[in-house]
Amino acid sequence: MHSEGSFFSVPKGMYLLSHSVGCLPVQTSRVVAQKYFAPWQQKGGDAWPEWLGIIEQFCHELGMIFNASDVDICPQLSVSSGLSQYLQALPPLPNKQKRTVLMHATAFPSLGFAVQGLAEYGFELKLIDKDIAPNDLDAWQAHMTDDVAVAVITHVHSNSGELSDIVEISKLCRAKQVQVVVDVAQSAGVIPIDLQDWQADVVLGSCVKWLCGGPGAAFMWINPAHLDDLQPKNIGWFSHENPFEFDIEHFTYAQGAKRFWGGTPSVLPYASAMVGVQQIRKIGVLNIYAHSKNLQRIVLSSAATHLAKMINLEQSGGTLCLALEKHLLDRLANKLTQSNVYYDRRENSIRLSWHIYNTEQEARKVADIFDSL
C-alpha cells in the first residue's frame, strides 16, 4: 500500500468508489469523539464555542486547499441547495424579467432540479446538448443569449470524468456579464484548485467524495468582490452580522459568505469533514493528483484497446469512466465483481476511481483483468 494509504480505513477488497464516497480517515472517530461528543458530554450547552471552532477550522482547512480566505466560505446543506440559495440571493431584474441559468446537459441532475424548482421566481434552465463536448467554447458562446444570467460549470463531470476548462469558459461568461458558478463536488481533493486563478462568482462543493469527509458537509465559496449584491432569503441568526444582538426588528447581513448560513448550525457533519479535509490538505492535493494519474495510466495501458472512446488523462478527474460495448461491459463487470472490486456503472460505462489509498498493485490487477477480456 502507498504509505499515505495507511491514513484511511479502506474497505476489504479493492475500493474504487471515491467518486461516490471517499474512505474514512483513521483519525476521524477519535477527533469527532474529542471535539464534538466530549464537550457535549462534559459541558452541555457550553460546548458551543468549541463546536463553532470546528466549523471555523473546517472553513480554514478548505480555504488552504483552495487558496481562499475562510471568511468567503459558508457551510451548506448540499451542492444543489447552495445553488438554490445563491440564485434566490441575486438582485431581481426590473419588470420580473426571466433569468436563464445555463449548464451542460451532463451537469449533475440535482443542479438542474434546483433551477427548475425556482421557476416561479423567474429562473429557467437552458442546457447545452449532451452530444456537444462540455469544453466546446463556441457552443458556450452561442448559448449565452441575452437572457442568460448565470452559467453553472461542472469542474469534473460525474459520468464521463471530463474536466472543464473553467478559466476559458469563465472568460466568455464575464464578457457577457454572466455569473459563473462552479461545481467542484467531483474535483475537490483530487484536482488542484486555486480559486484566485478562476475568479468565479460562486464555487459549490461537498466533502463526501474525494475530501473523505462523509456526507452532510457541503460548502459555498462566494467571490468577496460581489458579496454586497447578494441578499440570501433563507436566513437565520447565524446569517446576522451579530448573531447575539437578538433584536427581532433589526437584521443586518453578516459581512462575509456566512450571510448564507441560516439558523442554528449543524456541527457533526463538519466535525467529520474537517478531519477529512485536513488529512487531504496534509497529504497534498498535488500528490493525490499525481498518484491518481499514475494509477490511471497503468489501467489505461491495457484498457485503451477496448474503449469506445479514448480518454485524455490531462482533461479528466480522478475517475476512469470507461465506455465499452455492452457485451464487454458485462464481462468486465463480472470479472471486477469476482475480484472484489468496488465499482459502479453509468449508462454504457464503468466508473473506477483512483485515490491516494489505492495502489499500483491494484491498478495492475485491473489492467490484467482488461488483458484477459
Q: Are 323 and 349 contacting, i.e. CB atoms less than 8 angstroms apart?
A: yes
Shorter beta-carbon distance to ligand PLP: residue 179 or 186: 186
Cell of residue 237, nine digits: 441568526
7 binds ligand PLP (CB under 6 A): no
Draw the binding track, 207-246, toward ligand PLP (x: CB under 6 A; -: no contact). Answer: -----------x----------------------------
Nearest approach in angstroms of CB 211 to ligand PLP is 12
Exactly one of 27, 29, 110, 348 binds ligand PLP (CB under 6 A); that residue is 110
87 interacts with ligand PLP by CB under 6 A: no
Q: Which of 10, 79, 280, 311 binds ligand PLP (CB under 6 A)?
A: 79
Q: What is the DSSP string of 314-359?
A: GGB-SEEEEE--HHHHHHHHHHHHHTTEE-EEETTEEEEE--TT--
Residue 352 lies near ligand PLP (rule: CB under 6 A): no
Q: Binding to ligand PLP by residue 164, rule CB under 6 A?
A: no
Task: Please say which residue, 28 or 80, places its beta carbon nearer to ligand PLP.
Answer: 80
In contact, 242 and 56? CB cutoff 8 Å: no
- The C-alpha cell 471535539 sits at 35
Which of 269, 160, 138 is closest to 215 using CA atoms? 269
Site string for ligand PLP, 174-213 (x = CB under 6 A): ---------x-xx-------------------x-------
| Pairing verdict, β 148-154 and 8-9 | unpaired
When asked if residue 150 is in the footprint of ligand PLP (CB under 6 A), the reply is no
Other Cβ atoms closer than 10 A to 148: 20
Give the contacts of 91 (CB within 8 A, at least 6 positions apart).
Answer: 229, 231
187/278 with CB nearer ligand PLP: 187
Residue with smaller CB distance to ligand PLP, 183 or 201: 183
Residue 227 Cα distances to 42, 110, 259, angstroms: 39, 25, 9
Nearer to ligand PLP, 88 or 110 (CB): 110
Judged by the rule CB under 6 A, the positions of this chain that interact with ligand PLP are: 78-80, 108, 110, 154, 158, 183, 185-186, 206, 218
